Structure 1
Amino acid sequence: MQRYILALDQGTTSSRAILFGRDGSVGGHAQQPFRQYYPQPGWVEHDPNEIWESERAVAAQALRESGLGRAVAAIGITNQRETTILWDRATGEPIHNAIVWQCRRTADIADALREKRGVSELVAEKTGLHIDAYFSATKIKWLLDHVPSARERAERGEILFGTVETWLIWRLTGGKVHVTDYSNASRTMLFNIHTLSWDEELCALLDIPMNILPRPVSNSEVYGTVAEGIEGLEELAGVPICGAAGDQQAALFGQGCFTRGQAKNTYGTGCFTLMNVGGAPVRSRAGLVTTVGWSLNGETTYALEGSVFNAGSAIQWLRDELQVISTSHECDILAESVPDSGGIYLVPAFTGLGAPYWDMYARGCVVGITRGTTKAHFARAVLESIAYQVTDLMTAMRQDAGCEISLLRVDGGASVSDLMMQFQADLLRIPVDRPAMVETTAFGAASLAGLAAGVWKDLDELSTLRCSERVFTPERAQYECEELYRGWKRAVGCAQGWVEKK
């Protein structure tokens, strides 16, 4: 019987479970959305119990419908990063909703840190990150400061912190294992990426008790086993959980970017461009961040990363808030009905701008509207806005890397748009390679677990499993693309100037 890896892919808007065979084929799949909470403008929350229940439910469904429960050799987990959960060590109950990576409520905490002399440089040197509300550290501080008695309970050792993979591993093991993998730890702004350990100085700076932090572990090793008696997962009792990585690092791994200089972009709720920079961290000078890619067999691979906060979420905004479209696919259909965006630019800075701008106060805007602007132009402008933001990231990455990037591998839900992928290739002037199997994030988690479980031998074997579905090459004239991009930069200036900074 073929052995399968169960990948749990816990994203920002949905939970998924995918069973991968040794040949990379999908043996079963299930997906379920869960609620988004917006208690105030710019605030985003999730219910941690809903995260767990939705992930448990899709895993149970995938096993039930495939009949492959007995064939599962290992479990790998990938997750929305930076999202912050605090829970009671004894009861397992969250003390508050999770603060999602997109949430901007802690912008004032980040501002105060930046104002302290030398702190920005300290954070950048130790963590590879910029001080921003995006990362977990300010979210932990906010919860400790605002949830009644949370700080006192934390200091007594009654509270645990985790990003989403930590929470899922803790639940799957029946509360026995409290760990975080290096890639997720490197997104907290508390983790020293050189020593691969929590940094006491940074924790003290934010007044975060270190006893709430999980034990950092590599991305491919046995963390624990599934506990008995979990509803729908009874067949998995005793199966090792032995792979974990933040969603973007998992996608880099799943895309087979094992060599220094290889890059990928994931088009999801946000956009995330990562480039493998090898065994030593590269300090960004162009507005990117340095992060742990993965640690495997005692060797750590680092990556440069650029993050766009709102990409696919702009399509969701058209669908859910403006109700211009009824399905995400309709955005493509509308966009293809017009030859261009009619001169309009949409900057989806709904929760600020990420790399390379790092402007927490920027807000979304639309410029260039005329009486002839239609909803089709809006749809096209939304798709183009995603490609423009990735171009911002790639431009910065080329500067930092000091070398040309000759190919961009792509994945994520929005990468199915041929129109957007072609526009992306035109802007970047390089081929854009979309794989035949687009579930690269989940496959990255499965690969890490499969290596630990002996399902795959090494990276060379994994590399043979990737093949391209389509490669988009530049078609539009370069001068025309440069002119369009200059218009985008002017539109970004409008988004940045809208809200007066504190």
Structure 2
Amino acid sequence: MTVLAIDQGTSSTKGVLVADDGIVLARASARVSCSFPHPGWVEQDADEIWESVQAVIAAMPLGTPIDAIALSTQRESAVVWSGDFVSPVIGWQDARTAPDCDRLREHEAFVRARTGLALDPMFSATKLHTLLDGRDDRHAGTIDAFLIHRLTGEFAIEAGNASRTLLMNLETLDWDPELCALFGVPLHTLPEIRRSDAGFGEHRGIPLAAVLADSHAALYAHGAAKATYGTGSSVMVPSDASVDGLAHTLAWLTDKPVYAVEGNILASAAALDWMARTLHVDRLEPLALDATTTDGVHLVPAFSGLGAPHWDRGASGVIAGLTLGTRPKHLARAAFESVAHQICDILDLVGLEALHADGGATASALLMQLQADLSGRPVHVSASPEMSALGAADLAAGGRRERPVRTFEPAISDDERHTRREAWHAAVRRSRMATPELEASLR
């Protein structure tokens, strides 16, 4: 079976044509833009996202028969549409609904018990309520639901994506009327929840055979605990049990549900991109490689607060440890270390002997070595940067395929690792305004 896998992410949409033996026959990519209309807001254009999907489909080689389409998508981002009307997409990083979440804090234990998720503006419910704006005659959903509707005309959402909305009951695997009432999202505005391999209609005669959320698709492709390094990062570990500070989520639903715990990081490649723009360089890694240490500098990229395991939207982005000797190379290296440290904060909560890694930022050997050093674990990096797309293709084709990896081993002592991790924790406390010195200065 030849599968066209479409991976719709925050910064781009990728298309991968996968043969029956798992060989990639063709690739295509289209950029997708973000806008930041107000501090803490992140928006995208749903029509631009749809056009990017059409572009990668059109870029596939003519004459190659395609037996099925598979879709992996960014999660939690919300959109509302009806007829010719399409709202802006409120992105998963967007923090504008933090006050709405704060007003519901008395219900936090109830929400977590039903959904496995923190009461946080990253998730879709408060975004959907904002976009509906009292209207109950529109479709409301996540990016997968919007694209399924555009591709096939069917109004459906994949179960793993639905589990990221704060509206699906993790036990019944269906929309929860009490949650919908709590968040003010009319039940009838939401799409039908379907299993990940249920089939989602046809696009120009080709079945849309499988849909997965992007991080879930990468987990399916790896078959083991993994970190996906994208605009943000996802550390996901298959598990039926919950872990404090991490989301408990549905990974996918086929003949039975598969659950996972996950830590969501809001700024990974976004932190690297920000630092590159700030330092006015096209490529950050060569500059970072010019430094052997950060010289005591730490970047905490809490641009819209911190995600797991802190879930602190009040945290502020900080650069700590600046001195007169600080140079751009130290700032560049600190940006790379910030990504690895954030992953380590989640790994500290789960017992893993090794970590599998994928995503665009894994192309950086510096970042992967830092990850191995700071975590004290070997990091097995996928040889393919398109694991989300390949995971969706695997599901559509009926099963996971083994793929080659390259491994990075830890190369620093336990004492050095402990010292560097403690320095990072101190920087995070500054970001959260929790150090005694900062608290005293604010009195």
TM-score by length of 2: 0.96
Q: In the TM superposition, what is the alpha-carbon distance from 1:92 to its structure 2 partner? A: 4.3
Check if 1:360 corresponds to 2:317: no
Q: In structure 2, what is the Cα distance between the partners aligned to 1:25 and 1:315?
A: 31
Q: In the TM superposition, what is the alpha-carbon distance from 1:381 to its structure 2 partner? A: 0.3
Which amino acid is the alignment partner of residue 264 of structure 2?
A: S
Judge conservation of contact 1:221–1:449 (CA < 8 Å) in 2. no
Judge conservation of contact 1:252–1:264 (CA < 8 Å) in 2. yes
Q: Write out per-residue CA displacement over residues 369-411 of structure 1, whole angstroms, 9 at most, x where no aligned residue.
A: 1112111111100000000000001112x2xxxxx31110000
Q: Write out per-residue CA displacement over residues 279-334 of structure 1, whole angstroms, 9 at most, x where no aligned residue.
A: xx31222x0010001112x21100000000000001111233x15311xxx21111
Judge conservation of contact 1:364–1:495 (CA < 8 Å) in 2. yes
Q: Write out per-residue CA displacement over residues 408-438 of structure 1, whole angstroms, 9 at most, x where no aligned residue.
A: 0000011111111111111211110012223
User: Counterpart of 2:160?
Assistant: 183
Judge conservation of contact 2:132–2:140 (CA < 8 Å) in 1. no
Q: In structure 1, what is the Cα distance between the partners aligned to 2:127 and 2:404?
A: 40
Q: Aligned match of 1:425 in 351, 372, 382?
A: 372
User: Counterpart of 2:230?
Assistant: 268
User: Counterpart of 1:229?
Assistant: none
Q: In structure 2, what is the Cα distance between the partners aligned to 1:377 and 1:393?
A: 25
Q: Write out per-residue CA displacement over residues 174-197 of structure 1, whole angstroms, 9 at most, x where no aligned residue.
A: xx3011111100000000111100
Alignment of 1:310-329 (within 5 A): 310-320=267-277, 322-326=278-282
Which amino acid is the alignment partner of residue 239 of structure 1?
A: I
Q: In structure 2, what is the Cα distance between the partners aligned to 1:325 and 1:472?
A: 27
Q: Write out per-residue CA displacement over residues 15-67 of structure 1, whole angstroms, 9 at most, x where no aligned residue.
A: 11111112222111111112211110000000100110111112211x1xx23
Q: Aligned match of 2:126 in 131, 138, 162?
A: 138
Aligned length: 437
User: Counterpart of 1:127?
Assistant: 115
Alignment of 1:171-250 (within 5 A): 171-173=150-152, 176-226=153-203, 237-250=204-217
User: Counterpart of 1:93?
Assistant: 85
- Secondary structure of residue in 2 paired with 1:343: coil
User: Counterpart of 1:234?
Assistant: none
Q: In structure 2, what is the Cα distance between the partners aligned to 1:73 and 1:221?
A: 16
Q: Aligned match of 2:67 in 46, 70, 73?
A: 73
Q: In structure 2, what is the Cα distance between the partners aligned to 1:345 and 1:368?
A: 6
Alignment of 1:295-314 (within 5 A): 295-296=253-254, 298-314=255-271
User: Counterpart of 2:17?
Assistant: 19
Check if 1:84 corresponds to 2:40: no
Q: In structure 2, what is the Cα distance between the partners aligned to 1:52 and 1:266?
A: 24
User: Counterpart of 2:145?
Assistant: 166
Q: In structure 1, what is the Cα distance between the partners aligned to 2:220 and 2:357?
A: 12
Q: In structure 1, what is the Cα distance between the partners aligned to 2:416 and 2:130?
A: 46
Q: In structure 2, what is the Cα distance between the partners aligned to 1:42 and 1:109?
A: 14
Q: In structure 1, what is the Cα distance between the partners aligned to 2:175 and 2:167?
A: 6
Check if 1:466 corresponds to 2:403: yes
Q: Write out per-residue CA displacement over residues 229-249 of structure 1, whole angstroms, 9 at most, x where no aligned residue.
A: xxxxxxxx1100011111110
- Secondary structure of residue in 2 paired with 1:340: coil
Q: In the TM superposition, what is the alpha-carbon distance from 1:125 to its structure 2 partner? A: 1.0
Q: In structure 2, what is the Cα distance between the partners aligned to 1:124 and 1:331?
A: 39
Q: In structure 1, what is the Cα distance between the partners aligned to 2:65 and 2:120?
A: 43
Judge conservation of contact 2:155–2:191 (CA < 8 Å) in 1. yes
Give unmatched runs, 5+ long, in structure 1.
146-150, 227-236, 399-403, 452-458
Q: In structure 2, what is the Cα distance between the partners aligned to 1:338 and 1:437?
A: 28
Q: In structure 1, what is the Cα distance between the partners aligned to 2:253 and 2:131?
A: 30
Which amino acid is the alignment partner of residue 143 of structure 2?
A: V
- Secondary structure of residue in 2 paired with 1:72: coil
Q: In structure 2, what is the Cα distance between the partners aligned to 1:143 and 1:208?
A: 10
- Secondary structure of residue in 1 paired with 2:412: coil
User: Counterpart of 1:102?
Assistant: 93
Q: In structure 2, what is the Cα distance between the partners aligned to 1:162 and 1:121?
A: 24
Q: In structure 1, what is the Cα distance between the partners aligned to 2:279 and 2:305?
A: 23
Q: Write out per-residue CA displacement over residues 338-365 of structure 1, whole angstroms, 9 at most, x where no aligned residue.
A: 1111110000000110000000111110
Give unmatched runs, 5+ long, in structure 2.
none
Q: In structure 2, what is the Cα distance between the partners aligned to 1:266 and 1:283?
A: 20
Q: In the TM superposition, what is the alpha-carbon distance from 1:223 to its structure 2 partner? A: 1.2
Q: Aligned match of 1:350 in 303, 307, 311?
A: 303
User: Counterpart of 1:289?
Assistant: 247
- Secondary structure of residue in 2 paired with 1:476: coil
Which amino acid is the alignment partner of residue 440 of structure 1?
A: M
Judge conservation of contact 2:276–2:332 (CA < 8 Å) in 1. no
Judge conservation of contact 1:78–1:245 (CA < 8 Å) in 2. yes
User: Counterpart of 2:396?
Assistant: 449
Q: In structure 2, what is the Cα distance between the partners aligned to 1:92 and 1:388?
A: 45
Identity of matched residues, %: 38
Judge conservation of contact 1:426–1:478 (CA < 8 Å) in 2. no
Check if 1:112 corresponds to 2:103: yes
User: Counterpart of 2:291?
Assistant: 338
Q: In structure 1, what is the Cα distance between the partners aligned to 2:279 and 2:408?
A: 31
Judge conservation of contact 1:324–1:375 (CA < 8 Å) in 2. no
Judge conservation of contact 1:104–1:351 (CA < 8 Å) in 2. yes
User: Counterpart of 1:477?
Assistant: 413
Runs (4+) off by over 4 Å = 498-501
- Secondary structure of residue in 2 paired with 1:71: coil
Q: In structure 2, what is the Cα distance between the partners aligned to 1:303 and 1:82?
A: 17
Superposition CA RMSD, Å = 1.6
Alignment of 1:141-152 (within 5 A): 141-145=129-133, 151-152=134-135
User: Counterpart of 1:43?
Assistant: 41
